[in-house]
Structure 1
């Protein structure tokens, strides 16, 4: 992969004669990503008897910030305090920013309040630090103090605060910052507008992102403006919008860059987008972007998500320089397809290559285990997570609860749920969703109600559609179909297809035509092109011998041009994945499998008849 060209100055321990030469070399090392080299150069400079000046320290602070190393930061700060430049406003601001980026907010603030003079850069550094850490009340106070001191916020202030608060996903907060920037007259700055486009898209309001983009004067739009809009469409998986913007970008005389290619490829996540993804890949090659490691990683992800794992692996194997992201997207590609054999082989190769798996790598593997029900492999990954200190993360715990539930190990899921507070973690809405799904898999209605009530009473979490869907599914599985329907009607949120679909599945299990018909027509209205409700309702009619209604459903499907793909099941046996498709009997051990299935069917039938006889005997 392409690396920045490194100056000969960085390839040797040099003996420069002026401080300007040393500063130039240190700056070059930092700007090209060689932070440790910059600090080494500083040590050599001191050994050669050369004293740093007020230009040296900001470069060194930037190096410490890039590697987020507190010890190095404290050493550099000590050198500053011993120098004549300890009160220089530029040096002090660099120190504040350094401590912020090392997550030492108290040290940064203490240094900030001791500054005899502060400029806009000093205020921006501390404001962004508090905003990133979620101390929004302190940010409000600091903004007030800043304006009281006669310093007006600038575009950097607004952009820094906006990016810092994006982790909250609060549309209301982003709108407030937008209004603030309009009030102080900096909304016309194109860089600020580009930030709003990205912010609104990430907070779930694509419409407002489009409004901001359209309000930018066509003569002042930059390639970043277009990239922000394309990334916004990609964030919503709006492939058509992303492609149209990509075409308009070129029509308006702009040349796509690596960020453009990465953004538009990120919108290609379905098999039907594969051809367009290949065209964008081809265009990326013509532009010379295919050598950028971020582009190649995105291409591997795109081909995997679009179902062409072989092309993804071809690109991966050709990479001369791989990062943790490279390994993870390829492992994720195999895990999503249920090929855990290949995913685990790559995982082992990743460790052998010296690349350490991160949280995303682990989440991909855990999800893959849940998908195919690979409980033993899931437990091995659980032990690996503990031994490598990765299980002290709430996302990982949530993923394991979900995986254990899908693998049928309900007790393991429940034990982990109750252990979360013991790990000094606070359950969130995803934790409760995983716990409710575990109850749904195990038919644990009473526990489900307990967790559902616990969300609001103990953790002040408002249930979302997914939580309501789990409860409706749980009631349905226990045969309480009328209670489930009443529960849905009393919800404070409008039910979606997922909730109705869960109840329809329960109607199929319990052969309830009356409620099934009511629910299916709700689904036909919501998703007329989705085949599952038609198939479910046809199965309900077939189970009670209503063949005329089965024929009517099939006629309706043809009329609405609804196509049903054959269902698939995956199972792992002795470390090997086996895939079974409806009506496909080509498995090499098919005869044995179907003899066993017939035997199990007869056994279940016999058990059912014995239970019925026993019930009748007790009644008499």
Structure 2
């Protein structure tokens, strides 16, 4: 009998210790270790199952928690409450409510859990409905939960009315009401309520200190801190953290040294302060002096090394970490991603035993940024749980690669979308030249009730500019004014570009003048707008005005002014500016600047000088430079130099048929029909195909796009017939001497 009793006691002691391990592992985020303990247990009691359910839920693995709950041989009230708490913690309101309705019995904690689940998700009416179903003598815990819910959702009037109706108020009730004010930045109301309180404890004082800290009133926070009758470690850490986050590291260090007792949170707060202020050596010194370290200590220090680019030191610390958590490993992955060391990041990723959604997203985003889309999507497909960031990252990644079909497919697969989802798609269409699609999805976004932000409007305005869709652009401008984004810098710059590309330079200037804040991009956009519309002198004047405002021109500025000189035929001014760019502004010319100069001289017929610039460049000529050269040769009928430019251009754009057509037309004008035929053969041999021309027109606030040689469109034959009549009329009146009819493809 004694032996049997001893055996029972030993078993009970073993189970107790194993249950304790599960709880400890769960708290430190070591969920895989907790699972191993659970799976290895020969004897499990109800506490074991409840501990494991709680461990899964607190680590975001709520589906596994539910699976375990369903497998439990015997469930008690704690089991049901643990599962509801898990759903609440993971904001699974519907699941929590369904489970609550199935409960065979409930206690006050059950009701409070469900009410809290509703209030934290803004469902206050449902929470009040539960509260009203309770017996007349309601426990203060339920009152406090509802008061706190109202206050946290800024419904202070209802919170105060409920507080005043409360039959018996305890200190928690007073502090719940006070927290509602202080945690929402309502410090005037909070101070008034604090003065009303009949009884205060250190929690009350700490709430006031933290409230002032949250509204960045550190002087008031310090005054309250100095008045606390018996400050505890939370009081000290709150003030210390406030100083550290605000960059007042000297005051933080002074408080740290004055602390009567320091816990690991205080040490971590001080280390965090040093890390945030870039004092990594001081942080590391403090880290080595710590009497004990938590996982937060290690993670903060690893993150600190990552922030200053000391990846080897961060990796060494990670290897030394006794119990690696996902936060520390994700910080290391992020450091490698930022340095484009994706193979190193993958090695760390593979060793993460319990990956959370942030870990997955960091790795996927890294692959996307490096252009390794296939690897990113492989991980995306493997993700057990995807959040909004995961989906948006995938859309943005495909858009960045230019694969808008796949980006759209991912977008359509999303169960729920936010503004970032729409922006990722719309900006993708804009960046890849699908302007009509960008505007179509902007309209769809409005129809689905999503709210555009500055990025949505900026991308849509850019699309209008590239389509020259002036009327739609004006309507968007009105929407922007109503939405309040008119003062946004990016939106303002997009409006300047849109009006410029639509030929409305006065409205572009007006948009510029109405901007509250301008930057170099604003000035460059307007200068480019003047250049595009042939206002060369005005562009130069704006350039001088920009300098008078103290802005230093950059490479883009000079592309704009040189282009303006080219379009306006201001050769001497252009040459002077090109020389000044290097001598006065120390800007090394790039290919775009040389292309402008070739275009400037070429338009004026000074082909020899243009070619000399190309030969004397310290950089390798690109397609833009040789394209400008070929265009100038076409205008001035210099076939020999044109052939040279074309051959160089073919090296960069071997499959662009328009280059071959241009040279073919030059040969045709010179009567060299054998060369014309050779050009046609080259197009076929090199796989070049003449891309169908796309045009669009804006009618009744709608953009209609159509392609050349597309006979499926309505009235195509009628349109081509009209075009042929116009061409014949132009030929008869002498306007067709410079145009080769082979360029027109109407059958």
Q: TM-score, normalised by structure 1?
A: 0.72
Q: TM-score, normalised by structure 2?
A: 0.61
Cα offset for 1:297?
A: 3.2
Pick from 376, 393, 396 the counterpart of residue 245 of structure 1.
Answer: 376
Contact 1:112 / 1:122 at 8 angstroms: preserved in 2? yes
In structure 2, how many angstroms separate the alpha carbons of the residues matched to 1:25 and 1:482? 83
In structure 2, how many angstroms separate the alpha carbons of the residues matched to 1:520 and 1:56? 75
Bigger shift: residues 456-465 or 310-319 = 456-465
Give the 5 Å matches for 1:21-100. 37=185, 39=187, 42-43=190-191, 45-46=193-194, 48-49=196-197, 53-54=205-206, 57-58=209-210, 60-61=212-213, 63-64=214-215, 90-96=237-243, 99=246
Contact 1:369 / 1:378 at 8 angstroms: preserved in 2? yes
Instruction: Please name the residue that 2:419 is paired with.
Output: 293
SS of structure 1 residue aligned to 2:350: coil
Instruction: Find out whether 1:192 has 2:318 as its counterpart.
Output: no
Instruction: Please name the residue that 2:155 is paired with.
Output: 12
Post-superposition CA distance 1:282-326 (Å, at most 9, x none):
2112xxx32x23223334444566442324312223225443344
Instruction: Please name the residue that 1:399 is paired with.
Output: 525
Instruction: Please name the residue that 2:49 is paired with.
Output: none
SS of structure 2 residue aligned to 1:462: coil
Instruction: Please name the residue that 1:612 is paired with.
Output: none
Pick from 485, 492, 498 the counterpart of residue 362 of structure 1.
Answer: 492
In structure 2, how many angstroms separate the alpha carbons of the residues matched to 1:382 and 1:147? 49
In structure 1, how many angstroms separate the alpha carbons of the residues matched to 2:356 and 2:609? 57
Instruction: Find out whether 1:317 has 2:456 as its counterpart.
Output: no
Contact 1:336 / 1:368 at 8 angstroms: preserved in 2? yes
In structure 2, how many angstroms separate the alpha carbons of the residues matched to 1:453 and 1:22? 74
Instruction: Please name the residue that 1:341 is paired with.
Output: 471
Cα offset for 1:576?
A: 11
| Change in 2 beyond 3 A, CA 1:556/1:588 | closer
In structure 1, how many angstroms separate the alpha carbons of the residues matched to 2:732 and 2:227? 85
| Change in 2 beyond 3 A, CA 1:461/1:327 | same
Is there any run of 5+ residues in structure 1 with no aligned partner, and where?
65-69, 101-107, 130-138, 164-173, 201-207, 606-620
Instruction: Please name the residue that 1:211 is paired with.
Output: 343
Pick from 536, 539, 552 the counterpart of residue 410 of structure 1.
Answer: 536
Instruction: Please name the residue that 2:65 is paired with.
Output: none
In structure 1, how many angstroms separate the alpha carbons of the residues matched to 2:393 and 2:359? 12
Contact 1:332 / 1:361 at 8 angstroms: preserved in 2? no
Instruction: Please name the residue that 1:608 is paired with.
Output: none
How many corresponding residue pairs?
545
Cα offset for 1:128?
A: 4.2
Cα offset for 1:246?
A: 1.9
In structure 2, how many angstroms separate the alpha carbons of the residues matched to 1:109 and 1:357? 36
CA RMSD of aligned residues (A): 4.6
Cα offset for 1:498?
A: 2.6
In structure 2, how many angstroms separate the alpha carbons of the residues matched to 1:86 and 1:428? 56
| Change in 2 beyond 3 A, CA 1:458/1:405 | same
In structure 2, how many angstroms separate the alpha carbons of the residues matched to 1:571 and 1:219? 56
In structure 1, how many angstroms separate the alpha carbons of the residues matched to 2:540 and 2:466? 25
Post-superposition CA distance 1:444-493 (Å, at most 9, x none):
34433443444444333333333333334334334444444443344343
| Change in 2 beyond 3 A, CA 1:97/1:590 | farther
Instruction: Please name the residue that 1:524 is paired with.
Output: 650
In structure 1, how many angstroms separate the alpha carbons of the residues matched to 2:446 and 2:732? 46
Give the 5 Å matches for 1:377-456. 377-385=507-515, 389-391=516-518, 393-456=519-582
| Change in 2 beyond 3 A, CA 1:353/1:158 | same
Cα offset for 1:345?
A: 0.6
In structure 1, how many angstroms separate the alpha carbons of the residues matched to 2:245 and 2:178? 16
Cα offset for 1:516?
A: 2.7
| Change in 2 beyond 3 A, CA 1:346/1:535 | same
Contact 2:315 / 2:332 at 8 angstroms: preserved in 1? no
Cα offset for 1:365?
A: 1.9
Cα offset for 1:504?
A: 2.5
Cα offset for 1:414?
A: 1.6
- Greater relative contact order (Cα < 8 A, sep 6+): 1
Give the 5 Å matches for 1:221-260. 223-232=357-366, 234-235=368-369, 238=371, 241-242=372-373, 245-250=376-381, 252-260=382-390
Give the 5 Å matches for 1:98-177. 99=246, 108=248, 111=251, 117=257, 121-122=269-270, 124-125=272-273, 128=276, 142-144=279-281, 146=283, 156=300, 159=303, 177=310
SS of structure 2 residue aligned to 1:427: coil
Cα offset for 1:268?
A: 4.4
Cα offset for 1:592?
A: 11
| Change in 2 beyond 3 A, CA 1:566/1:447 | farther
| Change in 2 beyond 3 A, CA 1:228/1:429 | farther
